[in-house]
Amino acid sequence: MTPIAQPRIDTPEGVAWHLDALTARVPALQPMREAVGVVMPRVNPKGFAGMAKVICGQQLSVASAAAIWGRYECLPGALAPESYLGLSEEAVRATGFSRGKYVALRVVAEAIVGGELDLAHIDALPAEEATARLVALKGIGPWTAEVYLLFCAAHPDIFPAGDLALLKAAHQGLGLDARPTIKEMIGLAQDYAPHRSAAALLFWRYFAALKNRDSSLL
């Protein structure tokens, strides 16, 4: 029997398809889905520009990341690997990038230009293999790799278990006694495969609703 092709999660229909399959597989998630209503996709640019945006957002609030990205994307040459390599460190850091982020993105650009990294190919790999290929690059950790694959590649089976908002959502939404550790969250998310990206979007949406309702729970 030919397996059913799974949609990416870059459309509302794709997200809904995965959530339908996910809640049929794990009924305990249905109350969270009912609590938040429609879960929309979060779509970033693909390729080098998308990786730049994810690196920009490392360890920053949403507001701070947006402000820095707004300056960075206006920098001529910043969104293509070949032209990025022609930019000075001073020009990139003037937008708000730290030295570490400048260097990490330079490693990505050099790998693409040198033919060692094909993001379009990586986007199509299974979750664990795709993540492993990316974290092999200096400066790219699991969170960066997973968020790139989820938001830029619209990969259907990624769960960034180290994201604090997801851990808080799991604590409250699943009725756990305590906030799970990253290791525990990875184990829980195994049950959500091959729909882990939809689960992540659901948990983020639940966290936002919870935060708006009662910040003391967080």
pLDDT in tens, 170-205: 999 999 999 999 999 999 999 999 999 999 999 999
Q: Do 81 and 132 have their domain in common?
A: yes
Q: How many CA atoms lie within 13 A of 108 on its CB side?
A: 31
CATH number at 86 reads 1.10.340.30
pTM above threshold 0.85: yes
CATH number at 204 reads 1.10.1670.40
Q: Which of 87, 76, 20, 79 is nearest to 44 (CA)?
A: 79
What pLDDT, in 10s, does the model give residues 71-130?
Answer: 999 999 999 999 999 999 999 999 999 999 999 999 999 999 999 999 999 988 998 999
| Contacting residues for 121 by C-beta, under 8 A, at least 6 apart | none
213 — pLDDT class (breaks 50, 70, 90): low
φ, ψ for residue 81, nearest 5 deg: -60, -40
Q: Do 25 and 85 have their domain in common?
A: no
How buried is residue 5: exposed, middle or buried, by Cβ count under 10 Å (0-12/13-18/19+)?
A: exposed
Work out the angle between the directed axes of helices 182-190 and 164-173 (0-180°, nearest 10).
60
What is the residue type of 108? V
* Region for 77 from its dihedrals, namely left if φ exceeds 0, alpha if ψ lies in -120 to 50, beta otherwise: left
Q: Do 135 and 52 have their domain in common?
A: yes
Q: How many CA atoms lie within 13 A of 189 on its CB side?
A: 29
User: Can you tell me the distance from the alpha carbon of 89 to that of 83, in angstroms, rounded to the nearest whole number?
Assistant: 13
Structural domain range at position 32: 12-42+158-211
Token pair of 120, please?
């379009």
Tell me how far CA of residue 3 lies from CA of 8, 10, 161, 196, 206, in angstroms. 15, 21, 28, 18, 31
Q: Residue 218 domain-assigned?
A: no
Q: Residue 179 domain-assigned?
A: yes
Residue 218 has pLDDT above 90, yes or no: no
DSSP 140: -
